[in-house]
Structure 1
Amino acid sequence: MSPFPGLLPDEPVDTVAHLIQTALTPIFMLSGIGTLLNLFNTRLARVSDHIEKANETLEQTKTPSERRHLHRHLGHLHRRTLLLDAAILLGAVGGASACGAAFVLFLGSLRDSSVASWLVVMFGVALCCTVGALAMFLCDSLLAWHGLRMTTSWARSIKPKI
């Protein structure tokens, strides 16, 4: 009996090396997804801080035009939080699927069973969710750039009070 179930004693080193390379692919993907999740959470925290500041400014503002602008700005920030929430959710599901793919590879090597269909499903879900998370992040970036342009043009339109 082989000391490592699923691997025959006379199995070539290339086969074992290929198994290790294949098992590491989802782990590298998981590392990248973790970095993306950190980025998304940091960005969400900054948007949240911006919402708090805008709410404080809204409470102190008396001018109707400034209040309308702040309400539009808060709506814009709310849409950004929804996109970032979706990006985080998709990233988390993608990370869980990448872990599942690594686990399926591990089980397949231990049991010497055919787990190809599970592996394709888990890795496919991880890839789709990661692409979806990146798409949500792109939408948030576009909203942020649009909001920056709107804020800049609005600030230019206000005449300083002397």
Structure 2
Amino acid sequence: MGPYLSTVADTIQTAIAPVFLLAGIGAILNVMVGRLARIVDRARGLEQLHPSSTGPEHDRHVWELRLIDRRISVINTAIFLCVSSALSTCFVVALMFVSRLFALHVGAVVAIAFVVSMLLLMTGLVYFLVEVRMSLGAIHVREELLELDRRK
């Protein structure tokens, strides 16, 4: 005996929220991958300037390259966690359909998988926030360029 159309329709209606969540995670991943691309572009630019620089400028390039290396690691972790969240959400949707089709009582497993998905997403967003905060250190204008009057 196959599933009734109304059972499938009910399951689709129930699965709408996690599917919208997947769309949101996709948008977040798009932003993260864009940031990663910009970080890599900046690293490549600095790598070209690095060999010909000397003195304080060389030290600045080394400092920024080290920061970029840490930022790449952090944003990669954020991307990994958000992709893991999306996969967990896909598992939730698939499990919802399988449980309806075969009359399995796996509500607790679905709930746990959804909580895991949310925890992964939250952790990924925290890593993203950390990377954004790290980038602020590289975009502040150096004090020596501001020529501030230190007598005040």
Q: TM-score range by the shorter chain?
A: 0.7 to 0.9
Of 117, 121, 135, the residue aligned with 1:144 is 135
Q: 1:124, CA displacement in angstroms?
A: 1.1
User: Which one has the largest radius of gyration?
Assistant: 1
Aligned to 2:105: 114
Can you list the C-alpha shifts for 1:115-151, whole angstroms capped at 9, x where unaligned? Answer: 11220121111111111111111011111112211xx
Residue segments in structure 2 that go unaligned for 5+ positions in a row: 148-152
C-alpha separation in 2, matches of 1:107 and 1:134: 30
Shift of 1:65: 1.4
Change over 3 Å in CA distance of 1:6–1:111 after alignment to 2: farther
Tell me the CA shift for residue 22 of structure 1. 2.0
Deviations 1:69-122 (A, max 9, x none): 110000111111111000100011000000000001011111112011220121
Retained in 2: the 8 A contact 1:87–1:136?
Answer: yes
Equivalence for 1:59? 51
Per-residue deviation, residues 35-67 of structure 1 (Å, max 9, x unmatched): 111111111011001000001010121x22111
2:142 alignment partner in structure 1: 153
What percent of counterpart residues are identical? 25
Aligned counterpart for 1:29 among listed residues 21, 24, 28? 21
Trace 1:1-20 onto structure 2 (pairs within 5 A).
Answer: 4=4, 7=7, 17=10, 19-20=11-12
CA distance in 2, matches of 1:157, 1:33: 40
Does 2:41 correspond to 1:44?
A: no
Aligned length: 146
Instruction: Identify unmatched segments of 5+ residues in structure 1.
Output: 8-15
Residues in 2 aligned to 1:73 and 1:143: alpha-carbon distance in whole angstroms: 11
Deviation at residue 4 of structure 1 after TM alignment: 1.6
4+ runs deviating over 6 angstroms: none
- Please state if 1:90 is matched with 2:72: no
| TM-score under structure 1 length normalisation | 0.82
What is the aligned partner in structure 1 of residue 150 from structure 2? none
Cα RMSD between the aligned structures? 2.1
CA change 1:44–1:27 in 2 (3 A) is: same
| Rounded Cα–Cα distance in structure 1 between residues aligned with 2:37 and 2:18 | 28
Which position in structure 2 is the counterpart of 1:10? none
Q: Secondary structure at the match of 2:88?
A: helix
